[in-house]
């Protein structure tokens, strides 16, 4: 069977706290690149949310937890981060070796460059500027395991051509199924999106990957918005102010006595 060419990430070993990661086969964290810290995920109505800071650059860190290769088809705001196409499961992605970790830091422009992911107001987001505002505020990773090589047997020779009906059935069987749509709880429109930032150096090479199955083995979804919007939606709890310490007799110094030896 013909294999499809996908991008393969060079290894980048980055230490992070797995307690903040989302996912099972692969673990995903969102990194604030200014501070190097992971954004804390908030679990709300079955979905994970992180708070982004407007103007900050960020990276999607993916760690393969298996002892085999995986393919991670990655999207931001409903857009494939490598091709720029409206995201679908059957598209190109990054291939990770066993236990490999890598930070996806931008929209792929070539084998050597990306345009940095930047938190920005939704009208300035790449998705809205390209006419696709419907899915702003979500990061997705569809994880596929690799199919083991199968023995190849030569079919018997035939002098008859398949009938049109049979060819139609074979084409339908080979066609990938349509992507599934998960029901979600309606939420206010996100005010934060991901912009098309400055060009940066980021190298990849190419490899081949045969998927174990048409549907992902795991889908990881992380939503994001500004911290103020997370407060407003009740996703994050606003910190309580600490009252200042007051003194009933500020002009009367405390008396001092001789301490015990």
What's the whole-model pTM score?
0.73
Per-residue pLDDT of the chain (261 residues; tens, 9 = 90+): 344 445 555 444 333 344 567 888 999 999 999 999 999 999 999 999 999 999 999 999 999 999 999 999 999 999 999 999 999 999 999 999 999 999 999 999 999 999 999 999 999 999 999 999 999 999 999 999 999 876 656 555 544 444 445 555 455 455 554 444 444 444 454 689 999 999 999 999 999 999 999 999 999 999 999 999 999 999 988 887 888 887 777 777 776 777 777
Q: Alpha helix (H) ranges present in the chain?
A: 126-129, 164-174, 227-232
Three-class DSSP category at 38: strand
**Got the DSSP string for 176-198?**
PPPPP-------PPPSEEEEEEE
Task: Give the separation between CA 195 and CA 203, rounded to whole angstroms.
Answer: 21
Task: Render pLDDT for 18-30 as a digit per residue (tens, 0 to 9).
Answer: 456 788 899 999 9
Nearest to 112 by CA among 10, 253, 226: 10
Radius of gyration of the chain (CA): 25
Task: Give the separation between CA 192 and CA 175, rounded to whole angstroms.
Answer: 36
Nearest to 76 by CA among 229, 216, 220: 220
Q: Note whether 125 and 118 are within 8 A (CB).
A: no
Nearest to 74 by CA among 9, 146, 130, 14: 9
Task: Give the separation between CA 83 and CA 110, rounded to whole angstroms.
Answer: 10
Task: Give the separation between CA 20 and CA 3, rounded to whole angstroms.
Answer: 35
Task: Give the separation between CA 162 and CA 236, rounded to whole angstroms.
Answer: 61
Six-digit token string for 57: 């650059």
Look up residue 146 and give its DSSP letter: B
């Amino acid at each position: 069977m013909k294999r499809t060419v996908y991008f393969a990430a060079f290894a980048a070993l980055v230490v992070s706290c797995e307690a903040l990661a989302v996912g099972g086969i692969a673990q995903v964290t969102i990194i604030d690149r200014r501070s190097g810290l992971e954004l804390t995920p908030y679990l709300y109505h079955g979905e994970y949310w992180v708070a982004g800071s407007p103007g900050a650059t960020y990276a999607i860190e993916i760690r393969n937890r298996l002892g085999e290769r995986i393919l991670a088809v990655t999207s931001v705001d409903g857009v494939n981060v490598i091709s720029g196409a409206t995201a679908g499961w059957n598209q190109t992605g990054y291939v990770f070796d066993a236990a490999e970790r890598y930070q996806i830091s931008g929209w792929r422009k070539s084998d050597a460059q990306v345009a940095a992911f930047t938190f920005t107001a939704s009208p300035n987001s790449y998705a809205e500027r390209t006419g696709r505002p419907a899915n702003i505020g979500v990061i997705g990773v569809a994880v596929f395991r690799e199919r083991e090589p199968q023995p190849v047997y030569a079919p018997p020779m035939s002098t008859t051509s398949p009938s049109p009906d049979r060819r139609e059935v074979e084409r339908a069987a080979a066609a990938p199924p349509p992507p599934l749509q998960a029901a979600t709880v309606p939420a206010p429109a996100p005010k934060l999106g991901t912009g098309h930032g400055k060009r940066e150096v980021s190298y990849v090479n190419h490899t081949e990957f045969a998927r174990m199955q048409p549907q992902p083995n795991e889908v990881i979804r992380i939503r994001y918005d500004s911290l103020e919007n997370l407060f407003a939606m009740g996703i994050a709890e606003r910190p309580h102010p600490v009252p200042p310490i007051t003194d009933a007799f500020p002009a009367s110094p405390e008396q001092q006595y001789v301490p015990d030896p």
